[in-house]
């Protein structure tokens, strides 16, 4: 195995179970495909990996192959909000044991005395009216930076490629509420405008060509074949700006669009129609599918706008 820098970033949550800090670590989940995600470990011993676990349940979960940090050659790797590729000549650096160690070390660093650790009593499910439910709800995981003492600056993150010569590094851009951002887990802080300029000169991109080797920060690398990417660089920039605005109190573009759709339903006036049109067009192209429910997606809005033009 080749060596890579360990990758992690500070996070916080306020639910479930209150305010806790933690670290996210990149990893893959094996669920038909291999999904790049984060393995989140919190100071209370909670572990979030597409569902909440305590330390003992996480240890047992690892035995099922749910977390799988080295996708086999020929398998598809999927990156939410970016695309996917078929992995060839993989050179991965992490193991199941090393991912377990990262979680244990993170909890120990954040809570050396192991006080008030989460105990889910052997199961992450409970029966309610004869139906199984997750014991704990979803986390509101959010990247952050610690400033002075216990002060935090909150952020958001998106996946992208950082390009140097012919090297494509799949990483994350972290944007923070104070207008600073960080490219990658080990990047230095810079102004958001400076990062946006990097899209213009091709240093930050949203796709990788077939045949290149993709380095997945913190996990290793593989050669990309049959790549399928669906985010345009200009739309990623619009998404990043929207995230910054949201961090500073604005509605997220999708949320604003849904509000305008509701307002038009209640009062289908020309003014509300134009407000809906403006809100929909403000949503980055790759996010418009979320402007509705899981089945209809943005069909209703497109239908409203189309009928208004006839």
Contact 221, 81 (CB under 8 A): no
Percent of the chain whose pLDDT exceeds 70: 95
What tokens were used for 250? 């604005």
pLDDT of residue 1: 43
Confidence (pLDDT) at 2: 43
Region of 65 on the Ramachandran plot (φ > 0 left; ψ -120 to 50 alpha; else beta): left
- Of 166, 164, 180, nearest to 213 by C-alpha is 166
Q: Would you state the structure tokens that stand for residue 121, as one six-digit string?
A: 């009593």
Stretch among 42-46, 87-91, 292-296 having the lowest mean pLDDT: 292-296
Please answer whether residues 207 and 83 qualify as being in contact, where contact means their C-beta atoms are separated by less than 8 angstroms.
yes
Instruction: Read off the pLDDT of residues 239-298 as tens digits, 9 standing for 90 and up.
Output: 999 999 999 999 999 999 999 999 999 999 999 999 999 999 999 999 999 999 988 999
Sign for the pseudo-dihedral over CA of 244, 246, 251, 253: positive
Cα–Cα nearest to 222, from 99, 73, 116, 53: 73
pLDDT value at position 148?
78
- Is the pLDDT at 199 greater than 70, yes or no? yes
Q: Locate the domains of the chain by residue range.
A: 9-237, 251-309
Structure tokens at 271: 């003014």
């Amino acid at each position: 195995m080749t060596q890579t820098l360990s990758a992690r970033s500070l996070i916080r949550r306020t639910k479930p179970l209150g305010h806790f800090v933690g670290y996210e670590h990149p990893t893959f989940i094996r669920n038909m495909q291999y999904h790049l995600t984060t393995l989140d470990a919190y100071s209370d011993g909670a572990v979030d990996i597409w569902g909440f676990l305590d330390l003992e349940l996480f240890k047992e979960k690892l035995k099922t192959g749910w977390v799988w940090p080295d996708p086999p050659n020929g398998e598809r790797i999927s990156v939410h909000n970016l695309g996917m590729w078929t992995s060839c000549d993989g050179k991965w650096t992490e193991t199941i044991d090393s991912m377990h160690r990262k979680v244990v070390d993170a909890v120990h660093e954040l809570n050396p005395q192991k006080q008030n650790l989460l105990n889910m009593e052997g199961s992450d499910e409970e029966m309610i009216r004869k139906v199984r439910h997750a014991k704990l709800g979803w986390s509101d995981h959010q990247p952050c930076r610690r400033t002075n003492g216990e002060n935090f600056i909150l952020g958001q993150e998106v996946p992208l490629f950082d390009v140097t010569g012919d090297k494509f590094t799949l990483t994350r851009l972290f944007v923070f509420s104070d207008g600073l951002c960080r490219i990658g887990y080990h990047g230095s802080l810079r102004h958001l405008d400076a990062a946006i300029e990097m899209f213009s000169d091709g240093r930050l991109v949203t796709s990788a060509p077939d045949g290149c080797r993709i380095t997945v920060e913190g996990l290793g690398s593989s050669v990309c074949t049959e790549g399928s990417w669906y985010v345009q660089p200009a739309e990623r920039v619009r998404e990043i700006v929207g995230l910054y605005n949201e961090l500073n109190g604005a509605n997220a573009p999708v949320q604003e669009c849904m509000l305008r759709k509701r307002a038009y339903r209640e009062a289908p006036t020309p003014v509300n129609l134009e407000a809906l049109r403006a809100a929909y067009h403000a949503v980055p192209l790759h996010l418009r599918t979320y402007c509705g429910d899981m089945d209809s997606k943005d069909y209703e809005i497109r239908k409203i706008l189309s009928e208004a033009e006839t």
